Amino acid sequence: MHSSRASTLTGMSSGNRGERMRVQCFTVGNFAVNTYLLTDETTGASAIVDTGETDALVHHLKRLDPAPDIQMILLTHTHLDHAGALCFLQEIWDVPTYMPAADRPLFETLPMQGTLFGMPHLNRPMGRIDHEIVDGEKIALGETTLGFLSTPGHTPGQGCYYDDHDIVVGDTLFMGSIGRTDFPLSNPAQAVESLRRLMALPGHLRVHSGHGPMTTLEREMQHNPFLGYLRLERGLPVGQAIRWAPGT
């Protein structure tokens, strides 16, 4: 969950000629969460990443022409704004669903998460999980291979899906910010290390966050005030820096 202002990314896509995967973004729900449709350009196979907490994504996807060949649902983490609409999607697309294994305890709170956050009307059923994935696993989407990088901190299992050009990071990293670490089951120390691991990936990767606009790892390394500790470690100009956890 995140309290950023509403994004204007609904229906926008990225991907250049010669790249294998297309990324389309649909911003939905009360929390302006970015959900994604990843499509392997060679085969047309598609994956949904994150769900929102209403049936809005279902309606966006059903309006697409041609209809996407949805073959799987991937969850970056299981806060209600990212996993709360899983049942709505599975009623239409009965496809394998992947969840970070370490987020199982949080996932099982979905029927009461709304209440825990003071919004009981947003309590949601859990839906079905077919695969619990761990750091380093690979997922085949048509001819595209997606890697999974575990980046716990915001939640115990928060993780990222990526290929050679794009990375979907959930609430690990935003343009100019990072995911909150003051929620139940959050862990600031884990987030410090997770961001270190994330920023070790190639800087050209386009970052598709759970809220807000697209960015790149390189841009965030240079300008994100929450990554000042990493710039210091690398001998880069620190610039504006926010100390948000021990070690930063």
Q: pLDDT tens, 143-153?
A: 999 999 999 99
Provide the token pair at 184: 């139940």
| 55 secondary structure, DSSP code | S
Residue 139 near residue 163 (C-beta atoms within 8 A):
no
**Helix ranges restricted to H, the chain:** 56-62, 80-83, 86-92, 104-107, 110-116, 188-198, 217-223, 228-234
pTM: 0.93
Q: What is the spatial distance between Cα 23 and Cα 12, in angstroms, rounded to a whole number?
A: 8
pLDDT of 8 > 80? The answer is no
Provide the token pair at 77: 């983490």
**Structure confidence at residue 11 (pLDDT):** 46
| 134 secondary structure, DSSP code | -
Average pLDDT value for residue range 167-196: 97
Tokens 């099982």 map to which residue?
Answer: 108
Q: What is the pLDDT of residues 52-108, one digit of tens each?
A: 999 999 999 999 999 999 999 999 999 999 999 999 999 999 999 999 999 999 999
Provide the token pair at 159: 């993780």
Q: What is the spatial distance between Cα 15 and Cα 216, in angstroms, rounded to a whole number?
A: 13
pLDDT band for position 6 (50/70/90)? Answer: very low
List CB contacts of 64: < 8 A, sequence separation 6 or more: none
Residue 159 near residue 168 (C-beta atoms within 8 A):
no
pLDDT band for position 17 (50/70/90)? Answer: low
**Structure confidence at residue 5 (pLDDT):** 26
pLDDT of 22 > 80? The answer is yes
Burial of 171 (0-12, 13-18, 19+ CB in 10 A): buried
Q: What is the pLDDT of residues 201-232, one digit of tens each?
A: 999 999 999 999 999 999 999 999 999 999 99
Give the length of the chain: 248
pLDDT band for position 19 (50/70/90)? Answer: confident
Tokens 């695969």 map to which residue?
Answer: 131
